[in-house]
Amino acid sequence: MASSTLVLKEPKAESPTLIYLLFRFNNQRLKYSTGQKIHPKFWNEDSQTVRQTRSFTGYAELNTSLKNRMDAAHDIYRTIVNNKQIPTVKAIKRGLDEVFKAPLQNSSPKEFMGFIDHYITTSTKSASTRKNYSQTLRLLKDFQEKNRCSLTFDSIDLDFYEKFIAYMTGQNYYMNTIGTIIKNLKVFMNEAIEKGLTKNIAFKSKKFKKLQEESESIYLSQDEITKIYNLDLSDNERLCKARDLFVIGCYTGLRFSDLSKLTEKNLIDKNTKIKMLTQKTAELVIIPLHTYILEILKRYGGKIPEVISNQKMNDDLKDIGKRAKIKEKITLHYTKGGIKETKTLPKHDLISVHTARRSFATNAYLNDIPSISIMKITGHRTERAFLTYIKITQEENANKLLNHAFFK
């Protein structure tokens, strides 16, 4: 498991002192200069952040810069591990140098689009995140062409924000998609500030906000998972493997990126637990195996079912859910193109690979497993993030509380 902390070179200095990143992994430690300085009186040692004070107006930008360095160290470490290489202090330092010390190539430091393109190209984020960033860049270019303007760092202000939101709304995008685009734009602007390419902080205004509405997603109850588990799929080997891998996800809470890399080498203690380093967060998780998983392993001779693509598995799961007669009607509410809409679908049409992770978290919660124990498995670092996975109805919540001592 990797961890990172920030420390001052001279905590008792009477003048600004360097901030170091300490990155620990596999009993090794990298001490890396962030290149940033702070007076100790503005430093919060407990939270390892710059204090929010009017006496130091640049606290937000500096905290963002420091967080970027910590995130980059974890991303580099995760990439090395996922490539089945041995992480070393030298390799991680080299990666950090490439991200933060390499000069911009093939773009002018003052050119907005070129900077974003370079940022995406050199990013150590996951492929899906880079793809998301690329969509944002494409939309910015489309907006620029549509409005016959040339976007610069200084043009990213509230007037631009309102026009850009209107443009995306007119393109019939979902509200949460628009929110993600704005979030990505803020990432680009924070990076530009860190690189010294702009002093424009208009995007930090409360009015320059990420639009968001609560997304409605399903989970499967234990009875529904049992229906799927007991489904006779002997006539279709592909569906059988997709079903078995999905059930493993329902009782481990693993993301598809981790399920797809799961092998018998991850089985420990006589095949009673799974132990692995998660791809997204580089967290070490150890998960006890549910009876269903043990039975699946027996059917496959102690091995994990063969993996198919995420999209193909999503398609297969809808077919499997339909065969299992998981047909409860679910009404979705969402905003698209600025218009509030609803649609009702059978529950099986909403099943996806990620439903397994939500089902694990929700069913574990309903069975009174402490949140901290569930989070140790799901890898959530905050309870706020974890609770977004708990998908229970008002009635389910009331039933859970019915036997609580407070109501006796």
Cβ-count burial of 357 within 10 angstroms (0-12 exposed, 13-18 middle, 19+ buried)?
buried
Q: How far apart are CA 306 and CA 264, in angstroms?
A: 12
Q: How far apart are CA 36 and CA 49, in angstroms?
A: 12
Residue 110: the pLDDT is 58
Superfamily covering domain 103-212: Tyrosine recombinase, N-terminal domain (1.10.150.130)
For residue 381, the one-letter residue type is R
Q: Report in angstroms the alpha-carbon separations of 194 from 68, 89, 352.
A: 10, 25, 38
Superfamily covering domain 222-407: Intergrase catalytic core (1.10.443.10)
Residue 161: the pLDDT is 96
Residue 216: the pLDDT is 67
**Cβ(31)–Cβ(53) under 8 Å?**
no
Domain chopping of the chain, boundaries: 1-102, 103-212, 222-407
**Strand residues in 269-399 grouped as ranges (E):** 273-277, 284-288, 329-336, 339-346
Give pLDDT tens digits along the chain (408 positions): 789 999 999 888 888 888 999 999 999 999 999 888 888 888 988 888 888 776 666 677 788 888 888 888 998 998 888 888 889 999 999 888 887 765 444 444 458 988 898 888 877 676 778 889 999 999 999 998 888 888 999 999 999 999 999 999 999 999 999 999 999 999 999 999 988 889 999 999 999 999 988 776 889 999 999 999 999 999 999 999 999 999 999 999 999 888 988 888 999 998 899 998 887 777 789 999 999 999 999 999 988 988 778 889 999 999 999 999 999 998 888 888 888 888 899 999 999 999 999 999 999 998 889 888 998 898 887 877 787 778 776 777 777 777 777 777
Can you read off the two tokens belonging to residue 3? 């961890």
Q: Report in angstroms the alpha-carbon separations of 127 from 213, 239, 248.
A: 25, 27, 25
